[in-house]
Amino acid sequence: MRELAEQAHGANLDLGWELMNNLAAVDPTDITVAKFFVYGLFGSDYDGSPYTQSGDLVAELAARGIRLVIEEFRADVTKTLKNGSRGKLRIDYGDPKHPEKPIAWLWKFIDGAKTAGELYGRALVVIAAEQHACRLVVPSGQRFGAKRWPSHKDHAAKALQKLAGPHLPATLKQLEKAIAKAGAELHEAQEQARAESCSRVVAVDKPSARVDAGAIDDAAEPAETAGEGEEVDDELVEERLEDEDLVDPDSAVGSGGDRDSDTPPPAE
């Protein structure tokens, strides 16, 4: 084995020379090259196991992107009122804990590529769908931020924005602006409510200008009163800010997510 180890030194140098001179530049139209990068990026098939975490990336892209932007995965479940008119619009996007159908659609879409350019393009469609899909259409518990694509000098995220940005519909851009405005108004209302709450607590906490000598032993009572006043004010603040239509803009629109998205729960 020692003699073989000595031969390995030279073999490794030969390998480096061959790779540097024959593989450092490849044909970008070669679908074999495209398959390596695309399928290597998306990873293995989803198995729904909480132990292996196999296919988690594909499950995220399918459940948080494809499921929300492809029509076949939505169903109009709007109720009809007693007077015969339609009630409030309700769209069912299926159970995100069971993303098997969107995943099947995703792989069929990717496998259908015939050229390298088409394979790269279809991969970008899948990624951009998850990145920009508006989460307002699903319950708040399903509104995860968009997946981050960390890379050297942030090249991946910048390239994705450059590639997908020009193709975002005007309706989505308008919606993003409206959500950002609602988020700013919510933040302003919260700050104002906190300021009012603090001013009320300070007013309750101020001691009387004249203190009776016999009340010195009860000096702790104002602190308790202040605590009670603070609890009451907190309840008023919560009631004032409670509004289901005001949402976190970072989680409502996919492209606003600044944190890594969590893996969807495994199939039950």
Claim to verify: residue 118 and residue 42 sit in the same structural domain: yes
161/184 same-domain check: no
Q: Is residue 264 in some structural domain? A: no
Whole-number pLDDT of residue 28: 94
> Do 50 and 133 belong to one domain?
yes
pLDDT in tens, 232-254: 455 444 544 444 444 565 666 66
Q: What pTM did the predictor assign?
A: 0.71
Do 154 and 78 fall into the same domain?
A: yes
Which is nearest to 105 in space by CA: 65, 132, 75, 144?
65
Please check whether residues 145 and 50 belong to one and the same domain.
yes
Helix (H/G/I), strand (E/B), else coil: 40: helix
Entry field: residues in the chain: 268
For residue 11, is it within any domain?
Answer: no
pLDDT, tens digit, 9 for 90 and up, residues 123-166: 999 999 999 999 889 888 888 888 999 999 999 999 999 999 99
Do 62 and 89 lie in one domain? The reply is yes
Q: Same structural domain for residues 29 and 117?
A: yes
Q: How far apart are CA 128 and CA 119, in angstroms?
A: 14
Domain total for the chain?
A: 2
**Is residue 214 assigned to a domain?**
no
The predicted pLDDT at position 51 comes to 87
Phi first, then psi, for residue 83 (nearest 5°) are -85, 5
Which range marks the domain in which residue 184 is found?
Answer: 173-205+220-251
Closest to 253 measured CA to CA, from 84, 99, 135: 135
Residues 31 and 137 in one domain: yes
Residue 143 resides in a domain:
yes
Beta bridge partners of 134: 253
Mean pLDDT of 60-69: 95
Same domain, 122 and 79: yes
